[in-house]
Amino acid sequence: MNIMFEIFSFNVGGIERLIVDMSNSLIQKGHKVWLCVINDDKTKSMMDALNPEVTVLELKRPVGNRNDFKYMRRLAKYVRKNHIDVIHCHGINCVIFSGLCKIGIHRSVIINTVHDSGNYPKYSNLKVWLGNLFLDKTIAISDSVKAEILTRNVSADKVITIHNAIDTERFHYAERQTAFNTEIKNSPIISSKIEILNVARFYPDKKGQDLLVYAIEKLIPKIPNIHVTFAGDIFKGQQESYDKLQKYIQDKDLTEHFTFLGNVDDVPTLLTNSDIFVLPSRYEGFGISLIEALATGMPSVAADLEGPAEIMNATDKGDLKLGLLFKPEDADDLASKLEQLIENYESYNQRSISEYIVNKYNIDTMIDTHISVYSELL
């Protein structure tokens, strides 16, 4: 099967990491895979993570360009020449951009994955209509995202939920070398700090990094050895927000409690050296960084949004505790839930947490489901 993933830009982020994992897995299963990057906007480390057998098509459209037609024609010509069976888009704008691929003798199947809550309610009627015109299937990453899509008069038989998944060879159970490890907590080599971790692009309006800062500020009088590491590049247009939060931390004399690493390639090691993962998002369709953390066995605290709650409250986990949910945008409640988790940290069975997540969100299982969808449509 010939499969092309399509995205406008290819920088460091959860969607891009997922495309890398899916592309590499499909290559291993014997399929031919292409990646189309529409904009002249990519990060070398992400491109280097692709299996060399993945063919990359860079259309090099200038960011913000409004004259799309020549790039659309180039894509359609390339798709016909290479007999691409499936164009798997990541964003409805990619679907519309691929519309010309539905014209002519060779007509590719077009699929779109909707990665976030709040997308479909914001789309214009024209955009939804064009999406319905070109799309053969829409994949929602959670049931809550699927429900939003269905409110826009999209046929129920053209929408399916497939949860995001992770490369479990990279994200798996790990013994925590941290302050809660009773065997090593008195070792002078190991820091006695309680290490909190957040992995996300710095984008407070969505990812809520500021909420975590405010929550930790409230906890410090009770838990002075608490420390937070933020891993992730500054999202475009967020430099001012970043500088403002840095100034707040400095003005409040909190610098020793926070570390901002920027982009980190080796996330698994970072997870191994942390105690608790926090996803303080203001909106979140799923939370792939959350399942990466849980896959290592790390107890987590997440905003009580539809996507994260679907992970944390899943009925098939029985009595297994994965962590706690806090009221979205409520720094006081986040602080309270963190304190509660810290006080009861040893009650969380980290090996069982890891086994549950690894079994449920395995990239191989997800890929097999996608292949079944592709095959059915073809």
DSSP H or E stretch at residue 344? none
Q: For the segment 130-188, what is each residue's pLDDT rounded down to a tens digit?
A: 999 999 999 999 898 999 999 998 999 999 999 989 989 899 998 886 666 554 444 44
Radius of gyration of the chain (CA): 22
pLDDT (0 to 100) of residue 179: 65
Determine whether 320 is exposed, middle or buried from the number of CB atoms within 10 Å of its CB (0-12, 13-18, 19+).
middle
> Quick one: CA dihedral 188, 349, 271, 275, positive or negative?
negative
Say which residues have a Cβ less than 8 Å from residue 69's Cβ, sequence separation at least 6. none
Say which residues have a Cβ less than 8 Å from residue 264's Cβ, sequence separation at least 6. 199, 231, 232, 270
Got the DSSP string for 242-274? HHHHHHHHHHTT-GGGEEEEE--S-HHHHHHT-
Q: For the segment 86-111, what is each residue's pLDDT rounded down to a tens digit?
A: 999 999 999 999 999 998 777 899 99
Distance of alpha carbon 102 from alpha carbon 90, whole angstroms: 17
Q: Which domains does the chain have, with CATH numbers?
A: 2-165+362-377 (3.40.50.2000), 194-360 (3.40.50.2000)
Nearest to 34, CA basis, from 73, 1, 69, 68: 1
Strands (E), 150-213: 159-161, 194-199
CB atoms within 10 A of CB 213: 23
Distance of alpha carbon 148 from alpha carbon 139, whole angstroms: 12
Contact status, residue 121 vs residue 145, Cβ threshold 8 Å: no
The parts of the chain modelled with pLDDT lower than 50 are: 183-190
Backbone angles phi, psi at 178, to 5 degrees: -135, 180
Determine whether 330 is exposed, middle or buried from the number of CB atoms within 10 Å of its CB (0-12, 13-18, 19+).
middle
Q: With 0.75 as the threshold, say if the pTM is over it.
A: yes
Contact status, residue 110 vs residue 377, Cβ threshold 8 Å: no
Pairing relation of β-strands 32-39 and 55-61?
parallel
